[in-house]
A and B are shown apart, each in its own frame.
Chain A
Amino acid sequence: MTQQPTATVSAENNAWQGGRSPFNVSYGKMMMWIFLLSDAFTFGAFLISYGSTRFFSTVWPDPNKVFHSFPFMGEANLPLLFVSLMTFILIMSSVTMVLAVHAGHYGDRAGVTKWLLWTILGGICFLGCQAWEWTHLHHQGAWWGSFTDASTPIETIKHFFNAKATSHATFATGAGLQASHDFYNYFFTITGFHGGHVLSGIVLLSIALVNTVNGTYEKRGHYEMVEKIGLYWHFVDLVWVFVFTCFYLL
C-alpha cells in the first residue's frame, strides 16, 4: 500500500471495475430490454400523437358507440364486451408465456412445449378477434383515409358519437367528419402496428417451439431464448394495456 485512498470504494462501485457483470444479466437479455425500451418510445409517440389530435378536436367518437358489437350477436348493443374478451385472451397468453419461462428455468421440456403451444394459440385467437373487429369497422365505412369527402351524409358517421358531440354546433359543419377521419386513421395505424407485433411474436414463439421439441435448448443447457421471446411477448401485452385505455376507455 503506497497510496492513501482518497475515498472509500463501496462494494457497489467495485462492480463496475471489470471482471464481472454489474447488471447480472446476459448480453442477449439486456439487448432485448433495450430494444423493448426503444419500441416503447415508438408506441408512446403514436399514442401521444393520438392524444394531441384528440385534444385539438372539438368532438371525438365515443368508444361505447364505436365498439359495441360482438360476433354473431347481430345488432345487439354490447359496448366494450368484445374488446374485454380480446384483453382477457392477451392477459391469459401472457400467463401461459410466463409459465413456459418458468418451466424453462427448471429444464422441464414437456412443460415448455405445453405452455408455448397455449401461448401461440392465445396469440392466434387475439389476431382472429382483431381481424373480425377490423372487418366489422370496415363494413361501416371506416378505413385509413376514410371520411374525407365533405358530401358524406351525416348519418354515416353520427352513430360513432354520443349525443353531447352530435349536438355540438360544429358537428355537422365538418368537425364530425374530421374527427371520424382522424380517429380511424389512428385506430388502424396503432392497432395495426400492435397486431404486427403479435404476428411476429407468434412467428418467434413457433420457432422456439420447434427448437424446444427438437431438444435444441436442452442440448444448449438453458432456455434463455424462451425467456427473451417471453420478454417480447409480455411487452406486446403491456402495449395492449395502454392501447386499451387510450382507445376504448378514455
Chain B
Amino acid sequence: MSHHHNDSNLHYYEGDQSKLYSGVLNHHFNQDVKSAESKKQIGRIWKVFWILLVVTVAEVIMGMFFSHHMPSWLVATMFLALTILKAGYIVSVFMHLGDEVKDFIMMILVPLMFFIWFIIAFLADGSFWLFMNTNTPVK
C-alpha cells in the first residue's frame, strides 16, 4: 500500500522542496511499467473500478424498482451509505489519500466533519419550516 514514502528517503525533504519530485520518491523511473509491482497497482485500480460499477448498477436498480416500496428513511440511509462507500474508494485509491501519512489524511478529513452538523441543522430547519407552514396554530 505505502509505495509512496520510505523513511530512508527522508533526507530528500531537507531544504529544496523540488527534490520531493526528483524521481526517487513517488516515482519508479528506473523501473519498468510492466514490472510485477506496477501490474499489482494496476490490478488494484481495476478492482476499484469494478466495485464502483457494481455499486452504481445496484443503486440504479434499487432506484428504478425497489426504493418506492420501501420506507423513506431506509432508502436515504442505504443510498447515503453506498455513496460514502464509493467516495471512500475514490479518495483512498484513485486520489491515493490512503497512501499518504496519517497526519495529512486527518488534515483533509477532519474539517469535513463540519458536514455532519450542516446536514442535521439545515434539514431540521427545512422540516420545521414545513411544519410551521402546514399547521395553523390553535387560537
Contacts and interface: CB of A to CB of B under 8 A. Distances in A.
A22 B101 contact: yes
B111 interface: yes
A234 B111 CA distance: 19
Contacts of A98: 45, 93-94
Given A24-B5, A106-B38, A111 B122 contact: no
B38 to A, nearest CB: 6
Interface string B50-83: 0011001101101110011000000110011011
Interface stretch (A50-58, A153-161, A193-201): A50-58
A244 B95 CA distance: 20
Contacts of B90: 94, 234, 237-238, 241
Contacts of B32: 106
Interface residues of B, number: 69
Contacts of B10: 20
Contacts of A44: 115, 118
A105 interface: yes
Given A22-B103, A24-B13, A56 B22 contact: no
A101 to B, nearest CB: 8
A48 interface: yes
Q: Which of B29, B31, B32 has the most C-beta atoms of chain A within 10 angstroms of its own C-beta?
A: B29
A137 interface: no
B83 A242 contact: yes
Given A23-B101, A23-B103, A242-B87, A221 B22 contact: yes
Contact of A108 (B33, B56, B133): B33
Interface stretch (A83-91, A127-135, A138-146, A207-215): A83-91
Interface string B109-133: 0011011001100110111011001
A227 B11 CA distance: 23
B126 A20 contact: no
A222 B126 contact: no
A95 B119 contact: no
Contact of B45 (A33, A52, A99, A250): A99
Nearest to B127: A55
A37 B108 contact: yes
A179 to B, nearest CB: 12
A123 to B, nearest CB: 15
Given A23-B103, A24-B104, A64-B63, A95 B22 contact: no
Contacts of A188: none
A52 B125 contact: yes
A55 B80 CA distance: 16
B1 interface: no
Given A55-B126, A234-B95, A238-B90, A245 B118 contact: no
A53 B126 contact: yes
A37 B106 CA distance: 12
A102 B56 contact: no
B45 A102 contact: yes
Interface in A89-123: 91-92, 94-95, 97-99, 102-108, 111
8 contacts: A20-B13, A20-B14, A21-B17, A84-B60, A102-B42, A106-B32, A234-B94, A250-B75
**Which 7 A-B residue pairs are closest in the complex by CB-CB distance?**
A55-B126, A222-B21, A56-B129, A106-B33, A20-B13, A107-B29, A52-B126
Given A21-B13, A37-B112, A105-B27, 6 more contacts: A20-B11, A24-B13, A56-B129, A58-B134, A107-B28, A111-B33
